[in-house]
Amino acid sequence: SQQGEEDPQALSIQEGENATMNCSYKTSINNLQWYRQNSGRGLVHLILIRSNEREKHSGRLRVTLDTSKKSSSLLITASRAADTASYFCAFIMNRDDKIIFGKGTRLHILP
Amino acid sequence: EAQVTQNPRYLITVTGKKLTVTCSQNMNHEYMSWYRQDPGLGLRQIYYSMNVEVTDKGDVPEGYKVSRKEKRNFPLILESPSPNQTSLYFCASSPQGNGYTFGSGTRLTVV
């Protein structure tokens, strides 16, 4: 399968803690993106990291990319109840602009 | 407001009755794509289009048709819907190689 694989599939943490989700892929990529999806709604683009970048920040989000290991991680610091959602990694392969999504990590923030 | 608009949001239909789900974007994006989302299977690409009059099959194109006669519109056509096409459908668009903007989704039930 060309799909990315997220790990873990589900994660429950206390509000205020940091949440880390990982994504692995199998092919060389142009860039990797992370999306959030609230239940039954459309995906919202969070952050994009290009293949020549190693780390990127956006507010409470930190994304790393290790192209040698074909993996990425998304860190959400100081989690809030509103962060409860599913998070998907997606990547664009080098050979074309097709985007491949992983199956997602369900994050639940406990009050 | 920059957005991808899908219609309808909800649709219940009977097996074999042709239907069209519309998708329109106002951002002048070249790339548009259709996905279906099913529990445990994540997002799977149905068709995509890299520009006007250019469409390509994604991972699960069987039973679907698309057209891209104008840059802003990318309708999804089910000529003869079947119950296994019951799913949550998303349209998305992007400037090539960048983050995607998703529509709010169409929940289709085929009975």
Task: Write the pLDDT tens digit of every residue in B58-85.
Answer: 989 999 999 999 999 999 999 999 999 9
Task: Write the pLDDT tens digit of every residue in A39-98.
Answer: 878 899 999 999 999 999 999 999 999 999 999 999 999 999 999 999 999 988 766 667
Q: Which residues of A touch B101 (CB under 8 A)?
A: 45
Q: Is B19 left (phi over 0), alpha (psi -120 to 50) or beta?
A: beta
**β partners of residue B36:** B44, B89
- List, in sequence order, every beta strand (DSSP E) within B10-94: 10-13, 19-25, 31-38, 42-51, 54-57, 65-66, 76-78, 87-94
Q: Are A92 and A4 in contact (CB under 8 A)?
A: no
Asked if A89 has any chain B CB less than 8 Å from its own CB, the reply is: no
Q: What tokens were used for A46?
A: 């969070």
What's the rounded Cα separation, in Å, for the pair A7 and B63? 32
Asked if A42 has any chain B CB less than 8 Å from its own CB, the reply is: yes
Q: Which residues of A touch B45 (CB under 8 A)?
A: 98-100
CB contact under 8 A, A97 and B96: yes
Encoded amino acid at B28, one letter: N
Residues counted in chain A:
111
pLDDT value, residue B18: 97
**β partners of residue B42:** B38
- Shortest Cα distance from B34 to chain A (angstroms)? 11
Q: Helix (H, G, I), strand (E, B), or coil: what is residue A24?
A: strand
Task: Write the pLDDT tens digit of every residue in A27-43.
Answer: 888 899 999 999 878 89
Q: What tokens were used for A14?
A: 């206390």
**Radius of gyration (C-alpha) of chain A in whole angstroms:** 13
Residues counted in chain B:
111
Q: Which residues of B touch A48 (CB under 8 A)?
A: 98-99
CB contact under 8 A, B43 and A88: yes
By C-alpha distance, which of B77, B67, B81 is closest to B109?
B81
